[in-house]
Structure 1
Amino acid sequence: MKVKRIMANTATSDLDKADRFYGDILGLERLMDHGWFRTYGSHETMMVQVSFGSEGGSGTPVPDLSIEVDDLEGALSRFQQAGVPIEYGPVSEPWGVRRFYVRDPFGKLLNILQHE
């Protein structure tokens, strides 16, 4: 058996919040829409990964999702323009990433990062 894909699922009664946050701010495409379940993503080739931790590094909580971007400052600007509070950072970490934390509309803690 080979794992082909891992998808994170979040329960919500307001799917439009996902559109605004993951579509408008993060720029993900709506790949599937059943009316009651929507999937957002990118056609970028990605590795299958699942991470586990006792902390998020630098004394931060473990984030629910880590999202790697190609332009951290651009992502930061989009979140700030949308009025999304930055909970940590932006900071360059000793393990070679620059990152910040935000919460999505469903309370999930997101680690937005770029490898330096």
Structure 2
Amino acid sequence: MTVLRIVSNLHAPDPQMAQAFYGDLLELDVVMDHGWIRTFAAKGAAAMPQLSVASEGGNNTPVPVLSIEVDDVDRLYARAKVAGVEIVYDITNEPWGVRRFFMRDPFGNIVNILSH
């Protein structure tokens, strides 16, 4: 048996509200939309399935529900600030080799945005 994909499912009273945050800000494509569920995916990404289980988010931060690696964390940080997205943990160079920040999505979830 081989795991082919891991998909995070976030509860949202109106999945269409996710478009501005996950579609527009993070530039993800809608790959499925049944009204009650909307699935976003990165363009052309062939990521290995991963699952993290954590007692904290590192540096005494809360555990984010999602970690999204991007090619330019500073660009996305600037876009999030302009869009008025709540920054939960400011942009930081971490001692384990990532640059990251946490932001809150429209449903209250903490999302870790990082670059290696």
Whether TM exceeds 0.5 here: the answer is: yes
Whole-Å separation in 2 of the counterparts to 1:23 and 1:16:
10
Detail structure 1 runs of 4+ shifted over 4 Å in the superposition. Answer: none
Quote the residue 1:48 is aligned against.
49
Quote the residue 2:75 is aligned against.
74
Q: Which runs of 5+ in 1 are unaligned?
A: none
Quote the residue 2:102 is aligned against.
101
Quote the residue 1:34 is aligned against.
34
Segment drifting more, 31-40 vs 20-29: 31-40
Q: After TM superposition, give the deviation of residue 47 of structure 1 in Å.
A: 1.1
DSSP-derived class of the 1:77 partner: helix
Q: After TM superposition, give the deviation of residue 13 of structure 1 in Å.
A: 2.2
Q: After TM superposition, give the deviation of residue 35 of structure 1 in Å.
A: 2.1
Equivalent residues of 2:16, 2:35 under 8 A apart: no
- TM-score, length of structure 2 as denominator length: 0.94
Q: After TM superposition, give the deviation of residue 60 of structure 1 in Å.
A: 0.7
Whole-Å separation in 1 of the counterparts to 2:109 and 2:97:
24
Whole-Å separation in 1 of the counterparts to 2:51 and 2:17:
25
Q: Which digits, 9 at most, give the CA deviation of each residue in 1:25-77, with x for residues without a partner? A: 00000011112211000121101100011111111111111000000111101
Whole-Å separation in 2 of the counterparts to 1:38 and 1:3:
22
Equivalent residues of 2:104, 2:111 under 8 A apart: yes
The one-letter code matched in structure 2 to 1:32 is M
DSSP-derived class of the 1:12 partner: coil
Q: Which runs of 5+ in 2 are unaligned?
A: none
Whole-Å separation in 1 of the counterparts to 2:37 and 2:7:
13
DSSP-derived class of the 1:67 partner: strand
The one-letter code matched in structure 2 to 1:80 is K
Q: After TM superposition, give the deviation of residue 20 of structure 1 in Å.
A: 0.8
How many residues end up aligned between the 2 structures?
115
Identity %: 53
Q: Does 1:17 align with 2:23?
A: no
The one-letter code matched in structure 2 to 1:12 is A
